[in-house]
Amino acid sequence: MTRRTFALSIPILTEAALAQRAAVQGPFPPDTVWLNANENPEGPPKVAMQAMIDVLPKSGRYHYQEYRDFYAAVAASEGMEANQLLVGAGSSEVLQAAIHAFTGADRPLIQMSPTYESPASVMQALDRKVIRVPLTSGYYADVKELAKAAEREGGGLIYICNPNNPTGAVTPKKDIDWLIENLPTNTVALIDEAYIHFAETPDMESAFKHIKAGKNVVVTRSYSKIFGMAGLRAGSAYGRPDLIGRMAPVRNNVISIVAVRALLATFPEAQSIVADRKTRFNKIRRDLCSWFKDKGLDHIESHTNFVMVDLKRDVRPLLPRMVAKGVAVGRPFPPLDTMLRVSIGTAADMDKFRRVFWEVYSS
Ligand SMILES: Cc1ncc(COP(=O)(O)O)c(C=O)c1O
């Protein structure tokens, strides 16, 4: 067995996807409002619910014969071909597959900091190097520094979360374009677009066009956020067929037929579902941001379903006190130690957040 096939055969069963929730310590009051993991309180669209109910009695079978058409439908939903796609149990699984495929003992992960930590956790489990590059003053990726680091290392995997979790900031399309045009040799760019559906700024552009141009780019998407299917575990990666081919051997298995049917029912209505949810949640976010402003608190302009607000003091002591009062918010994100990240829930969830946050913050 060669070193490469040996490495590929090791399943890394990281629980990084659960880290967010695990970081919030209970006991939790029964009516706790969960604003800690950027989920969607509305859950799956109605059409998806019906499709799942319909398939449940038939879930005693594998349904393997349906997956070819399913992959074609997922790819077509983004204007791609099936050989440019890998579907996994959440985007967590395909991000992990990219790490297995494009990093190694001598090929580090190069990422912005702070950002979504799951890829770095996988690297840690594999005992591979992670290079963290501070964000720009606008809280998005410093593409020149990321490229410099990859150059210095002789290549690697550059991970950009766009819009970024936890800051909610967008890396402008001109910066992404520059990076892709100037990718060092032996380097792949992994662009995580889990929150793209919430972004309204013209600075936000998907990196899909770079895939179509044949570049060393992999883009991941999640159905856990605007589509409200976090518990169903479905996500996808898109890339040149040869890059997808390198990721495919480390994917675990097909996703559940329940998630498959939920997605197939959603695709025909996806545009209106996204537009409707985007309008509703972005309004709730804007209302929250105005409230922060009225209270004299600065926030980072967000293009997602969460916001970071600057408390100008360590957030750590506040978090357990808020949980005790039934509001769970994001964990600390060093080095942004004074920033609290709160997910956007329903209007009623945010009313409760405002009440509890203000009680705890001002006492
Ligand atoms: C930026 C980002 N990428 C990926 C994920 C993983 O989501 P999932 O595996 O549910 O698709 C998350 C989850 O919070 C996230 O914030």
> DSSP 3-state assignment of 328?
strand
Residue type, 102: F
| Sign of the alpha-carbon dihedral angle for 139, 144, 145, 151 | positive
Q: What is the Cα–Cα distance from 120 to 159, expressed in whole angstroms?
A: 10
- The ligand 1 atom at the shortest distance from the C-alpha of residue 93 is 9
Sheet holding 298-299, edge to edge: 298-299, 306-310, 339-343
Contact 298, 309 (CB under 8 A): yes
Q: Please indicate whether residue 257 or residue 4 has the higher confidence score (pLDDT).
A: 257
pLDDT score for 6: 43
Has residue 14 got a pLDDT over 70?
Answer: no
| Per-residue pLDDT at 15 exceeds 90 | no
User: So what's the pLDDT on residue 9?
Assistant: 45
Tell me, using a 6 A CB cutoff, whether residue 226 lines ligand 1.
Answer: no
Q: What does the pLDDT look like over 126-152, one tens digit per residue?
A: 999 999 999 999 999 999 999 999 999
**Best substitution site from 40, 91, 95 to test ligand 1's pocket, by max atoms within 8 Å of Cβ?**
91
Indicate the top mutation candidate among 18, 39, 92 to test ligand 1's pocket, ranked by most ligand atoms within 8 A of CB. Answer: 92
By three-state DSSP, how is residue 114 classified?
A: coil
pLDDT of residue 27: 83
* 136: amino acid identity, one letter: T
Q: In this predicted structure, what is the pLDDT of residue 5? A: 42
Two tokens at 348? Answer: 């009623």
CB atoms within 10 A of CB 61: 10
pLDDT for residue 28: 87
Residue 92 C-alpha to ligand 1 middle, in angstroms? Answer: 6
The confidence band for 22, taking pLDDT boundaries of 50, 70 and 90, is low
Domains of the chain, CATH where assigned: 3-43+271-361 (3.90.1150.10), 46-268 (3.40.640.10)
Would the pTM of this model clear 0.85, i.e. be above it? yes
Going by pLDDT thresholds of 50, 70 and 90, the confidence category of residue 7 is very low
Ligand 1 close to Cβ of residue 343 (< 6 A)? no
The single-letter code of the amino acid at 243 is L
pLDDT, position 3:
43
pLDDT at position 2 is 41
Query: What is the Å distance from ligand 1's center to 225 Cα?
Result: 8
Radius of gyration of the chain (CA): 20
**Measured from the CA of 91, which atom of ligand 1 is nearest?**
11
Rounded to whole angstroms, how far apart are CA atoms 241 and 234?
Answer: 20
User: Distance from the CA of 330 to the center of ligand 1, in angstroms?
Assistant: 14
pLDDT tens string 208-252:
999 999 999 999 999 999 999 999 999 999 999 999 999 999 988
Q: Is 116 in the pocket of ligand 1 (CB under 6 A)?
A: yes
pLDDT in tens, 143-182: 999 999 999 999 999 999 999 999 999 999 999 999 999 9
CB 309 within 8 A of CB 329: no
Percentage of residues in the chain having pLDDT higher than 70: 93
Residues 163, 166, 168, 169: is their CA dihedral positive or negative?
A: negative
Three-class DSSP category at 330: coil
Question: Does residue 90's CB lie within 6 angstroms of at least one atom of ligand 1?
Answer: yes
pLDDT digits (tens, 9 = 90+) for 296-319: 999 999 999 999 999 999 999 999
Q: State in Å: Cα 6 to ligand 1 middle.
A: 28
